[in-house]
Each structure stands twice: as structure tokens, then as C-alpha cells.
Structure 1
């Protein structure tokens, strides 16, 4: 699937950054299900979101992660929120960082949005802990 993308410097940088944040397994799964219908969208987000915004040099991945999670929570984007909470394992944003970001959401975007996002973050962190425990036991 990935071989059908238009390769360019921004795409290559985006793919590198996307993999460093979301992990190879996630990106490989996304690539596997990409079709001709959504390939232009995948090209766009790889170049714009990952190759430009996430690849900038002014903020750290930790800072970008906190801001992204706050925005996704405020907008009620549950699936993307869960994905980015999971990605904190790669960005360096701690659960305490995310809690602080979600407190900002409560004040600036509303308590219901923050409350829902906190439930999602708790679930994702519990899953991450369970996965880590299971790997340690094997």
C-alpha cells in the first residue's frame, strides 16, 4: 500500500515522525487498510500533520502531545484522543502532563468534555499498564 504514495521529502519526514510517535505497528496497520479512496487523505495527513506540524523544531514531542490531547478532548474526538494518549509512551508526556492538559480542557472547553476525556485516558493507561505487566510476566 505505502508504495502507492507520492514520495517526497515532506512525506518521508512525516512517515518518520508518525512512526516515532505512533509506533511502527500502528502505522503499518494504517498502511495495510489504506485504499485508493483514502490514500489522498493519508498522503495529506502524513505530509501536513506529521511532516510539517509534528516535525517542527520549536516544540518537543511531549509539548505537541499535550496540546494535541487537549484539543482532541475539547473537540470530543474520542478515537483520536485514545490513540494519542497511547502514543504518550513515545512522546514523553506523562500521565501527570495529560491530567494537567485535561484540567485546562475543563476550564476552557467545559467540564463534560474533560470528564469524558479523563475516562478515556484512564482506560487507555489501564490497558497500557496491563500490556506492560503481561510483557514483564513472559
Structure 2
């Protein structure tokens, strides 16, 4: 990864900060010759250029992503970004409010599915936090 651009390195750092080092390292290491170019583009442009723009804080970007991913019925990515939102300081109440707004603008089926996905993601995020706290002796 030393031969990557500065924007890629910035994106990799942003991606780790939001989604967690383990998730990002696993995604990058699991990439093969066929899909690595897509991983590189997402890291460099999405996470470097867009998330690297200081105009919007990560917390705001997370809430926008939750709404957009709900509208697109992208539940796998929604789960990843709900966890990232919690890491970025978005509260459960804020996530709930975003999802309630998608109910009106995106439709009940999409929002209800997103609520199910978010509930499971929040449980998983909480469990991971409890595990990390136990390791740290908190």
C-alpha cells in the first residue's frame, strides 16, 4: 500500500476511523485482482475526496448515508454505516429520526426494512463495544 496516492491514504484513514480498522483491513485484504480496483476507487474518491472534504462533519455524512442507503434498499451497506454512525457520535435517537423521515420520503417497506437492519447493527455494535470494554478491563 506504500505506492498508493496521498488521497488513497487519506481515504484509508477516514474509512478506518468510521468503519473500524478490522472491517477496512478485512475488505482490503479480501480484495482480489478483479475487485481491488473497485476497492481502490471507493477508498480514494469516496473516502478520500468526499469524506475528506471538511465542509461536513462525519456525523452529518453518516446520517445522510443512512437516509440514502435506506432509499436504495442497500441493507448490507446500511448495517455497516449504522455502526459507523454510532462510532461518529450519531445517537440511537438520531438514527431513529432519520429512519422515520425515510418512512415518509422513501416509503414504509424501505424504512421498515431499514429499521430491522439498523436494530441488528446496533446490537452488533453494542456487543463489539462490550467486548472491547471487557478486553480493556473497563
Same fold (TM over 0.5): yes
| Deviation, structure 1 residue 87 | 1.2
RMSD of aligned alpha carbons: 1.6
Secondary structure, counterpart of 2:52 in structure 1? coil
CA distance in 2, matches of 1:102, 1:60: 20
Secondary structure, counterpart of 1:93 in structure 2? coil
CA 1:119–1:8 in structure 2 vs 1: closer, same or farther (change >3 Å)?
A: same
Look up the match of 1:121: 118
Look up the match of 1:31: 28
Look up the match of 1:51: 48
CA distance in 2, matches of 1:136, 1:24: 17
Structure 1 length-normalised TM:
0.90
CA distance in 1, matches of 2:122, 2:58: 19
CA distance in 2, matches of 1:133, 1:41: 33
Kindly indicate whether the alpha-carbon contact (under 8 Å) linking 2:69 and 2:75 is maintained by their aligned counterparts in 1: yes
Secondary structure, counterpart of 2:17 in structure 1? helix
In the alignment, structure 1 residue 87 sits paired with structure 2 residue 84: yes
| Deviation, structure 1 residue 105 | 0.7
Secondary structure, counterpart of 2:81 in structure 1? helix
Which whole-Å deviations, capped at 9, do the CAs of 1:85-138 have from their partners, x for residues lacking one? 111232111111111111111111111111110011111112222333445456
Aligned length: 135
Unaligned runs of 5+ in 2: none
In the alignment, structure 1 residue 77 sits paired with structure 2 residue 74: yes
CA distance in 2, matches of 1:70, 1:93: 13
Unaligned runs of 5+ in 1: none
Which whole-Å deviations, capped at 9, do the CAs of 1:48-87 have from their partners, x for residues lacking one? 1100111111111000000001100110001000011111
